[in-house]
Structure 1
Amino acid sequence: MIRRIKYLLLIVSFPVVLHPQIIQKIDINGNRTFSDSDIKSWGQIGEGTRVYPGLLDTLKSRVALNLSLRGYFYPDFKNSRLEYSADSQKVFITLNVNEGEPTYIKTSYFSGNDSVKTKEYEPVFKFLEGQVFDKYELEEYINDLLTKLENDGYPFAVFTIKSVYLYRDSVKEKNYADLYIDLNTGVESRIDKIKVEGNASTKDYVVIRELRIEPGEYYSQKKIEELPKRLNRLRFFAPVATPQFYIDSDNKGVLLIKIKEKQTNNFDGIIGYIPPAKDNETGYVTGLINISLRNLFGTGRAAAFRWRKLDRNSQELELKYLEPWLIGFPLNLNLRFYQRQQDTIYVQRNVDAGLEYLATENVSASVFVTSESVIPTLTEEPVFTVFNSSSLTTGINLRIDTRDDPLAPMGGLLFNNTYKFSRKKINGPAEFITPDTQTDINLQRFEATLAVFYELFRRQVVALTLNGRELRGPFFEQSDLYRLGGAFTLRGYREDQFLGNRIYWSNLEYRFFLSRRTFAFLFFDTGYYLRNADDNLGIPKAEEFKIGYGLGINLETGIGILGVSFALAKGDSFSEGKIHFGIINEF
């Protein structure tokens, strides 16, 4: 008999387990001030939710709490109910909401330990009198005042709502609240010391000078929150957190900067050997060597070496050096040597020197001078390639950089604008200089870059870069022209594939961040070049618009940011795609 009862209980309970009661519909009635969607969101119970004991009371309690936070302390839910379908599996909720009359702020009593601040902020709370007692609005006012105090040197300020007196005025038939608010400003704080932790090789003064904080400066939360962006631009550290501030035992304000150093010396290289194609030829070495030392001896100085062998007869060599904060002033000295051997045509050498003034953490301006020489390759039979020439270039540059991180920005912009003026003198070869040949030439260059970064969704960033270069003058040689194509301009094409006196290109990327400096991306590049005709050399006008597209990934590694992308040019098949890769860093 007991066994039969067990089986009977199992049969009865089994359908209940398989078919729990579900909320089919929620009807909101009677509400005048707040919408149905507001009330449903406060209840945190939606259609399709399982029914549980006390559900209606829970729903009313949650809605009542949210109404009270918005100044409605006396709601009524009369005749709210649950109704069941014929099979008792579906539940219909009817919630009758009468918000009641709101409670208004009658009087605000404001006090504080600082009579000046009390007098300054009292009108803010007086402004609330006569308004509905909304907790969120009151908190917004208080937060705004706390932010102002933090930026005025009071990081430890505290507002306290000491009491709230609720009552009903029977004459006016209104609900009122009297507020009693107190302000303790805490000690007025200055930044007397800056302490740096985590720097094993970088000198303290390198970090401190980048902060641009004077000893004894009043504490400002807004400025403190800007400091990580300034330090990240050094590219010496992992992403820096917001500094901490405290008062030490000597009653001095201490700003604590915690950093984690990363690898600042990068080596990027690939070497290959091209065997001879014919019996009378010899093989040759090709490849790339890129060495970057961006924090020499922990002083912030930087040096770089780059060698690139393009083919049998073409190669580049570049040396760069940076001396930051020259003699303690916000001036950066930049030096550069560059040499390019182009096929069997010419050798081009540049020596550059520039002085950059760091006006603010976001804006800099620079002046520079460049000495250039172009030497044509001698051949047994005189054939014109380029003139033997020398030039002196002077220029100015304006740079605005608000990016939150120079290597993997998630927000901000970069604007770079440069003007160059060159006086070029043609020295030979004498046999190619005619009476009509201009030997003293003035050239002008206009260069601009605009890059914008915007976080569209969490960890998803749209990056758009626009670039323009233009060369103006009476005539141009191959060594004067701009080059377009490759990993850093127009992907899907060979490095420096196109030459022009006017070039434009754009890069549009949609980035999916996997970590702070690692992201995968889709890209679409466009490019345009124009090379004016030269009737004397028999060079026709060349003008084309190109596109490239593909995908890639930037990986943060121990040796730097490794960028790899697969790109297709318009009309390319998959097998004709090009792989671009390299270590990405800014000198």
Structure 2
Amino acid sequence: MKLSVLVCLFYFFWAGPKAFSQTGFWLKMEDGRSVSSWQSFPSAIQALAKVDSTLSGLQASGFLEAYATEEYLAQDSLLVVLELGNEYLWEDLRTDQVPLALRNKVAPVTSSYADAERWMKGVIRNAENSGFPFAQLKIDSLAREGNRLSGTIVYDSGPIILWDSLAVEGNTSTKINYLQQLTGIKAGEPFSQNQLEVAEQILRRSPYFRLVAPAALSFQIKKAKPTFTLSDRNTNVFDGVIGFLPNENEPGKMLITGQLDLQLYHLGGRGRDISVNWQRLNVQSQSLELAAKESFVFNSPLDVMLEFSLLKQDSTFLNRYLGLDFGYHAGERSYLRFFTKRQSGDLLSSSGMDTVSVLPDVADFRWNQYGLGWEWDALDFPYFPRRGTKINVQVSIGNKKILENTGIPSDVYGGLDLNTPQYAGWASVETHVFVSQNWGMWFRGSGGLIENENLLLNDLYRIGGLKSIRGFNEKFFFARSYAYVNAEQRLFFGENSYLLAFADFGILENPFFVSAIDRPVSFGAGINLDTGSGVFSFIYGVGKSNLQTLQFSHSKIHFGYLARF
């Protein structure tokens, strides 16, 4: 009994007043057509603001005489009755004094008062995007008959405004020339409000810098000068990864593999990028990838990228390619690529091939290819996005020439067409779903195909590992055609930190193996931890395929630290 009394006293003196203080201010509105339920607002000021916005909406829709009567039922309760009055319509609204070029871009106006307002806003918007940000519309010769209105819309363009040179402020190394090419805002061209808004969206999504504040716009002597305040991101990457794998050559021992990833971005504030990637896949296999990109070469809309790649597969073959890539910004989110590549493959050893009667799976070749790529990026953030979709597509075709190797009998090449067309293509689609504040999902689907009359093992795609099908060695699979899906659940405990659980499913074809079709499956978990100056990652995965049984002794552990500076 005493305990109950104490609880009641506690609620009355402390919890009770606090609960009542949170009820705020109550509002109820009636307009003769409907009655709203009681709504709670933090304060009377916000409740009255709701009344004002409702009245403005009614007047904009044609109830010009609408007004409100207020009745306070208590200190914290207000009943509002909205008197609508007549609904006004346009009987005759003449628009012939508005330039035809502006009128044609907007749907014709109807008798609805709200539709007329929509039409006028559309005309003003078109004028703002055509170099006339101070354009005005007013109604002349206004007349009323009952609830029917008539009048003439008069257009005043104001002075024409042209873009002035851009200005950049903030902690950034970005050059003005680069910013002009990226945003499309160039001195001497007509001012466009839409162009300015699109430019802000492009800058917000840049991987090089952040847009700290909305663009500041100043007008001087028929010129508009935008000022962008930017702050450079820590985009440069140094990534070192160590992997511990079972050593197939020495059972019971571990094999240490490694990776070095160095990426330098936006050098000199001009969108100039350089990257170096090295991997040691096993004792005898290594890969090296080099790339350099120059943005907006000679102030043109084209980017130019030079690539070099080398892959040494055990003591079997050595693949190399040299590529020249031209990129074009086709839109705010769209990017087109035109490229040419020369790919070569060479046998490292022809031992034991002096008695073969057919072309071996691995041979010497040269492939000159030409292709087209397209990227559509609608992710909300360049690093660790939470929402959005990204699409990548690439196709190429070219002539492949098989070279005769002196270690292989010449009769092997006798019945072959040594020059044949070869084509390849691949596509990737990824999407991020932000379910709640702490829960997100990531999905990716990818597929590829390569085709030729004399297809070789060292022609095929290489997939598997941390960036494709996890739970397997890097570039574990050879594939003529492949498709796989990655599904990942992410539990966020920081802006860029999360726990993850994944499952990968794939299907691939390798015509050089006894079982040509393989359906690898893998699953695992890990953590991605943002330390402020970099990202620490730890991922554990186990997979099953035709070449690997589902055993924890075959599991893969990858961990590393990706430092941004």
CA separation of 1:356/1:60 partners in 2, compared to 1, >3 Å: closer, same or farther?
A: closer
| Corresponding residue for residue 458 of structure 2 | 479
Aligned-residue identity in percent: 22
| Corresponding residue for residue 321 of structure 2 | 350
Counterparts of residues 187-586 of structure 1 (less than 5 Å): 187-198=159-170, 200-231=172-203, 235-238=207-210, 242-248=214-220, 250-270=221-241, 286-360=257-331, 362-377=334-349, 387-404=362-379, 405-409=381-385, 410-435=387-412, 438=416, 440=418, 442=420, 444-451=422-429, 453=431, 463-509=442-488, 523-533=502-512, 539-550=513-524, 565-569=539-543, 578-580=556-558
Once the two structures are TM-superposed, the CA of residue 504 in structure 1 deviates from its matched residue by: 1.0
| Corresponding residue for residue 129 of structure 2 | 151
| Corresponding residue for residue 44 of structure 1 | 39
State the alpha-carbon separation in 1 of the partners of residues 507 and 225 from structure 2: 54
Amino acid of the structure 1 residue aligned with 2:480: N
State the alpha-carbon separation in 2 of the partners of residues 348 and 413 from structure 1: 30
- Whether the 8 Å CA contact 2:211–2:229 is kept in 1: the answer is no
Once the two structures are TM-superposed, the CA of residue 191 in structure 1 deviates from its matched residue by: 1.0
Please identify, of 549-558 and 258-267, the stretch whose mean Cα deviation from structure 2 is larger.
549-558
Which structure: larger Rg? 1
Amino acid of the structure 2 residue aligned with 1:73: A
Q: Residue 205 of structure 1 aligns to a residue in which SS?
A: helix
Amino acid of the structure 1 residue aligned with 2:225: V
CA separation of 1:278/1:456 partners in 2, compared to 1, >3 Å: closer, same or farther?
A: closer
Q: Residue 238 of structure 1 aligns to a residue in which SS?
A: strand
Q: Residue 289 of structure 1 aligns to a residue in which SS?
A: strand
Q: What is the total number of aligned residue pairs between the two structures?
A: 526
- Whether the 8 Å CA contact 1:528–1:545 is kept in 2: the answer is yes
Amino acid of the structure 2 residue aligned with 1:191: W
1:240-267 deviations in Å (ceiling 9; x for gaps):
655332114x553101122111234322
State the alpha-carbon separation in 1 of the partners of residues 493 and 161 from structure 2: 39
CA separation of 1:76/1:301 partners in 2, compared to 1, >3 Å: closer, same or farther?
A: closer
- Whether the 8 Å CA contact 1:376–1:387 is kept in 2: the answer is no
1:122-142 deviations in Å (ceiling 9; x for gaps):
x999957565xx7xx787566
CA separation of 1:33/1:452 partners in 2, compared to 1, >3 Å: closer, same or farther?
A: farther
CA separation of 1:562/1:228 partners in 2, compared to 1, >3 Å: closer, same or farther?
A: farther
CA separation of 1:129/1:283 partners in 2, compared to 1, >3 Å: closer, same or farther?
A: closer
- Whether the 8 Å CA contact 1:111–1:183 is kept in 2: the answer is no
1:302-354 deviations in Å (ceiling 9; x for gaps):
22222211221111122222233333333333222222221222222222233
Once the two structures are TM-superposed, the CA of residue 490 in structure 1 deviates from its matched residue by: 1.5
Please identify, of 452-461 and 389-398, the stretch whose mean Cα deviation from structure 2 is larger.
452-461
| Corresponding residue for residue 4 of structure 2 | none
Please identify, of 262-271 and 363-372, the stretch whose mean Cα deviation from structure 2 is larger.
262-271
- Whether the 8 Å CA contact 1:445–1:469 is kept in 2: the answer is no
Q: Residue 430 of structure 1 aligns to a residue in which SS?
A: coil
Please identify, of 557-566 and 519-528, the stretch whose mean Cα deviation from structure 2 is larger.
557-566
Provide TM-score, normalisation by structure 2.
0.72
State the alpha-carbon separation in 2 of the partners of residues 194 and 576 from structure 1: 57
- Whether the 8 Å CA contact 1:519–1:554 is kept in 2: the answer is yes
CA separation of 1:215/1:31 partners in 2, compared to 1, >3 Å: closer, same or farther?
A: closer
Once the two structures are TM-superposed, the CA of residue 372 in structure 1 deviates from its matched residue by: 0.9
State the alpha-carbon separation in 1 of the partners of residues 447 and 243 from structure 2: 34
**Which of 47, 66, 69 is matched with 1:73 structurally?**
66
Q: Residue 103 of structure 1 aligns to a residue in which SS?
A: coil
Amino acid of the structure 1 residue aligned with 2:486: N
Provide TM-score, normalisation by structure 1.
0.69
Q: Residue 222 of structure 1 aligns to a residue in which SS?
A: helix
1:276-299 deviations in Å (ceiling 9; x for gaps):
9999xx999742222222233333
Once the two structures are TM-superposed, the CA of residue 388 in structure 1 deviates from its matched residue by: 4.6
1:119-165 deviations in Å (ceiling 9; x for gaps):
977x999957565xx7xx78756654553343233445577999x99
State the alpha-carbon separation in 1 of the partners of residues 123 and 491 from structure 2: 37
State the alpha-carbon separation in 2 of the partners of residues 145 and 581 from structure 1: 58
Please identify, of 213-222 and 353-362, the stretch whose mean Cα deviation from structure 2 is larger.
353-362
Once the two structures are TM-superposed, the CA of residue 413 in structure 1 deviates from its matched residue by: 3.7
Higher relative contact order structure (alpha carbons within 8 Å, sequence separation ≥ 6): 2
Gapped regions of structure 1 (runs ≥ 5): 1-9, 83-92, 534-538
Q: Residue 218 of structure 1 aligns to a residue in which SS?
A: coil
State the alpha-carbon separation in 2 of the partners of residues 402 and 148 from structure 1: 28
State the alpha-carbon separation in 2 of the partners of residues 508 and 275 from structure 1: 26
Once the two structures are TM-superposed, the CA of residue 485 in structure 1 deviates from its matched residue by: 1.4
Amino acid of the structure 2 residue aligned with 1:445: Y
